[in-house]
Amino acid sequence: MRMNDIIEKKRDGQALTKEEINFFIEGYTNNSIPDYQASALLMAIYFQDMNDEERANLTMAMVNSGEQIDLSAIEGVKVDKHSTGGVGDTTTLVLGPLVAACGVPVAKMSGRGLGHTGGTIDKLEAIDGFHVELSSEQFVKQVNEIKVAVIGQSGNLTPADKKLYALRDVTSTVNSIPLIASSIMSKKIAAGAGAIVLDVKTGDGAFMKTTEDARKLAKAMVQIGNSVGRQTMAIISDMSQPLGRAIGNALEVQEAIDTLKGKGPDDLTELCLTLGSQMVVVGEKADTLEEARIMLQKAIDDGSALEIFKQFIKWQGGNEKVVDDTALLPKADFIFEVSAKNAGFVTYMEADEIGTAAMLLGAGRATKESEIDLAVGIMLNKKVGDQVDEGESLATIYANSENVQEVMNKLHENIHIEAERKEAPPLVYEIIT
Ligand code: URA
Ligand code: CA
């Protein structure tokens, strides 16, 4: 087999065979295929697309390029959730204990990552003593006993994706549906997911700016998952404004606890019930989304989800008293209110810019080396559609520095107040099963 022929075939719009895709992925991973040939093929895929079979084959070739996590010692269908990323997305913290309370095993490998706030692990580390350094035996035992555990990233998973993603970044081929879909799905499958639920975000704060693109990506990933034996469902959800009210690590832990107590913000609660229903169905603990939703609501109402959250914290070395006393979370030294300059209605909040404001406070990492300040962040006191009086607080800034002028300005600039009320965009655009 020759790489030139594979490039030519794709350039001319033909479908690649499984053998050709494997040849490319293996060769690129072991450095026998150079970057310039890989770049040419990526650009051909960008323009010519891939059919369903090619996408599934590409995904599994990337899974097979490295190690795979073996979760077979855990009973039941291991369900993983993936969000394409947004601002103040607190869902994972809520969903872990919530679906665990319905009997679905959540064996999550999570990262820290770059972004407006920390990743799931950073957020959990806002709880005193919490750690994610579990041996694989401890990890398996914990999931079997209490149905939920979170472990830090380990192992050489999907090396092909790591190399290809870096190459795509510098060859303007990131934005291709088959390449994004196979990249995301290969990582979930290599991490041991037996079933997958996807939250594809759309809007200003999201990777996919339009619902049309978000729908294409969601359908592509659901198709891949189902065709390789991992039942997959997806939703398309709004990320034009931040999710919930809290943006920042300790603040989001508190928000997750409130939500597990049934007192969380409406949008975050609704999103957790929607995604959670899909997780319970693909985890084979309910036959329909409606039935699953009733189970989840019950787990909130009777306190069982909250109880699992406590046990989860305790098993991983954290102080579970935080659940009853959120004053034990890290606290910022300074609190500032962002007051409305005029009366009216909030018509728009630019998620991305508000996320950047949280990062300026130190809630997220700009580079891999940055230190995160777990205590700082922003609480939104108003959301799109809300009425405001002049001087009323739009948001509260939690800072560890007195100099927050830039953050204050950014929030004023990006929380738009107008005389006419505008409806908030729908939270969930589409459910794909
Ligand atoms: N996220 C990924 O993991 N891969 C992509 O290709 C794009 C976004
Ligand atoms: Ca939030």
Summarize pLDDT for 226-259 with one digit per residue, the tens: 999 999 999 999 998 999 999 999 999 999 999 9
Query: Burial, 406: exposed, middle or buried (Cβ in 10 Å; 0-12, 13-18, 19+)?
Result: exposed
Residue 132 scores a pLDDT above 80 = yes
pLDDT band at residue 415 using 50, 70 and 90 as cut-offs: very high
The percent of residues in the chain predicted with pLDDT above 90, rounded, is 88
Which residues make Cβ contacts (< 8 Å) with residue 303, sequence separation at least 6?
none
C-beta 180 within 6 A of ligand 1: yes
Residue 46 scores a pLDDT above 90 = yes
Atom number, ligand 1, closest to the C-alpha of residue 174: 6
Q: How far is CA 85 from CA 182, 212, 351, in A?
A: 17, 17, 11
Atom number, ligand 1, closest to the C-alpha of residue 183: 4
* pLDDT of amino acid 204: 77
Confidence (pTM): 0.94
Summarize pLDDT for 219-228 with one digit per residue, the tens: 999 999 999 9
Report helix angle 35-48 to 3-11, nearest 10.
Answer: 20
Q: How far is ligand 2, taken at its centre, from the CA of residue 267, in Å?
A: 9
Residue 114 scores a pLDDT above 90 = no
Beta bridge partners of residue 238, listed in sequence order: 202
Nearest bound ligand to CA 355?
2
Atom number, ligand 1, closest to the C-alpha of residue 187: 3
3-state class (DSSP) for residue 61? helix
Average pLDDT over residues 66-91: 92
* pLDDT of amino acid 153: 82
* pLDDT of amino acid 302: 98
Q: How far is CA 167 from CA 35, 40, 161, 173, in A?
A: 8, 11, 10, 8
Query: What ipTM goes with this model?
Result: 0.92
Q: How far is ligand 2, taken at its centre, from the CA of residue 252, in Å?
A: 6
C-beta 184 within 6 A of ligand 1: yes
Q: How far is ligand 2, taken at its centre, from the CA of residue 378, in Å?
A: 9
Q: How far is ligand 1, taken at its centre, from the CA of residue 67, in Å?
A: 19
Nearest residue (by CA) to ligand 1, atom 3, is: 184
Nearest bound ligand to CA 94?
2
In the chain, the N- to C-terminal Cα span, in Å, equals 38
Q: How far is ligand 2, taken at its centre, from the CA of residue 2, in Å?
A: 50
The β-bridge relationship of strands 344-349 and 387-388 is antiparallel
pLDDT band at residue 88 using 50, 70 and 90 as cut-offs: confident
Nearest bound ligand to CA 187?
1
Just list the catalytic residues.
82, 161, 168, 183, 187
Among 265, 255, 253, 270, which Cα is nearest to 313's?
253
C-beta 183 within 6 A of ligand 1: yes
Nearest residue (by CA) to ligand 1, atom 6, is: 180
> What's the CA gap between 178 and 185, in Å, rounded?
10
> What's the CA gap between 95 and 272, in Å, rounded?
6
pLDDT band at residue 394 using 50, 70 and 90 as cut-offs: very high
Residue 111 scores a pLDDT above 80 = no
Low-confidence winner among 199-203, 366-370, 391-395 (lowest mean pLDDT): 366-370
Residue 112 scores a pLDDT above 80 = no
How is residue 150 annotated by DSSP? Answer: E
Summarize pLDDT for 283-331 with one digit per residue, the tens: 999 999 999 999 999 999 999 999 999 999 999 999 999 999 999 999 9
Residue 118 scores a pLDDT above 90 = no
